[in-house]
Amino acid sequence: MSDRNGNPQDPDNGPESPHRLIEARLQKMAELGESVELYPYGFDRSHTSEQMRADEKSLTEAETKVRYPGRIMAKRGTGKTLFVPVQDERGTVQAYFRKDDLGDEAFHRVQKLMDIGDWVGVEGKLFRTRTGELSIHVEDFTFLSKAIRPLPEKYHDMSLENRCRRRYLDLAMNQESRERFRRRSEIIAEIRAFFAEEEFLEVETPVLQSLYGGATARPFKTHHNALDMTLYLRIADELYLKRLIVGGLEKVYEIAKDFRNEGMDRTHNPEFTMLECYAAYWDYHDMMDLMERLMRRLARGISADGKLKYGEVELDFSQPFGRIRFMDALQDKTGRDLMAADDEEVAAVAREHGITLKKGMGRDKILDELFSELVEPGLVQPTFVMDHPKELSPLAKAHRETEGLVERFEMFVAGFELSNSFSELNDPREQRERFVAQKALLEAGDEEAQQLDEDFLQAMEQGMPPTGGMGIGIDRLVMLLVDSNNIRDVLLFPHMRPEQS
């Protein structure tokens, strides 16, 4: 009795344990002996599966021999013939092995000693079987890597948890996963092309920073031994990019890894990819237009009409995006003018709506929690939420018309935030005041408040032109464009809790 991988099973004990399956494969390797190179240095491939399907007619008519490597995904057949699907990155082509062509010894290796999960290179001519399967009539083959561990059953134990924890198995077993991450790469390439056309310069800024800033978040902390100093993994690259605007680079952007020591859920991972861009002489209205152009281009790259399916909802990027004001949306949901309310009244409204108030939460955090709870879930179609309270945005310029607000927007779609933008504060005196207020919150127990960055203030004192800035969550953007409802499905290696032994 044997399992799907051709390994023996004990009928009294049921399926073999992983340890015994590995032992069976090691025995096969011993039988193959040193005369067979199981881990060669390379393979001269002539065609991919995609190329063979595209050029099938010319290859078959010319009786061209192809050389094709990949992973064995199954074995079918008895007696003197075997049908073996061989998978490369983009698809599968069947290898057809015949004992009469290969001889007894070589066919024995394929039939008895070659396992599902092994990597193999085959050589032969293309043909179609009677069932219409594109196949290679194998004249010669080479082991490329002997797999010691068996692959899992295709639909067994491949939950999201296991796909993320062992991404290599997810990629091996699921073509859709390979395509999802290929799409991620293509999306980022398209974003880079867009910003190049908009004449933004791509730059790089430090990941290790002596002071963290540019966002309200708790950082990861480390130590530099040679300099004997504390360093932080960046929570944002904003303050460094603004230094470049001060220096005279007028349009800059960076696609950066940021790190925030926060919880994990379907839209948050402690390590994530963010795009930040800054343009001299722009304001947040210009950035709204830029974001709308980018989203329309990405959507039309998937669907010509700019309409995308996300879960059960159709999202329409072809029309002008919605625009609402932050405090107006809260008033609609609470029936209260929270702009005019004092701190105690704001806290009372939050409690009425079931929000737990934690130590150190200021008015800004309470308003943000209220908005997240009451407004965000209803923002399904592309919507710009504009004009936030000043205390929520310590790096944004005061609103030119409404006291107490700043010129800021967040773009929401499908119920989650996709981008954040300001008319950037460029008065160093007001920026210092905002930093001092943030420092007071930090000292009062708000671990996410920003630090006072004296070096950044000195840069601003050299003169910073009017500037528009924006951050875009790349991981969430990919979620949207590949129709995934969990950030872990678009990160190759998301953070996971340690496995329980």
Q: Is the dihedral of CA 483, 484, 487, 491 positive or negative?
A: negative
DSSP calls for 128-172: E-TT--EEEEEEEEEEEE--SSPPPPTTSS--HHHHHHTHHHHHH
* Alpha carbon separation from 125 to 47, 61, 92 (Å, rounded): 12, 10, 16
Phi, psi of 21 (to 5 degrees): -65, -40
pLDDT at 11: 37
Residues 6+ apart with CB under 8 A from 190: 297, 298, 301
pLDDT at 10: 41
Digitized pLDDT (tens) for each residue of the chain, 501 residues in all = 344 444 444 433 445 677 889 999 999 999 998 889 999 999 999 999 999 999 999 999 999 999 999 999 999 987 899 999 999 999 999 999 999 999 999 999 999 999 999 999 999 999 999 999 999 999 999 999 999 999 987 655 578 888 999 999 999 999 999 999 999 999 999 999 999 999 999 999 999 999 988 888 899 999 999 999 999 999 999 999 999 999 999 999 999 999 999 989 999 999 999 999 999 999 999 999 999 999 999 999 999 999 999 999 999 999 999 999 999 999 999 999 998 888 899 999 999 999 988 877 888 889 999 999 999 999 999 999 999 998 788 778 999 999 989 999 999 999 999 999 999 999 999 999 888 888 887 777 777 777 889 999 999 999 999 999 999 999 999 999 999 999 999 999 999 888 876
Element (H, E) at 70: strand 65-72
Closest CA to 421 of 307, 323, 277: 277
pLDDT at 215: 84
User: Topology of 175-321+381-489 in CATH?
Assistant: BirA Bifunctional Protein; domain 2 (3.30.930)
Contact yes or no for 171/187 (Cβ under 8 A): no
Residues of the chain with CATH 3.30.930.10: 175-321+381-489
pLDDT at 501: 61
* Alpha carbon separation from 64 to 52, 67, 370 (Å, rounded): 11, 10, 67
Closest CA to 455 of 240, 245, 230, 207: 240
State the pTM of this model. 0.90
CA distance 258 to 266: 17
Domain spanning 18-151: CATH 2.160.10.10? no
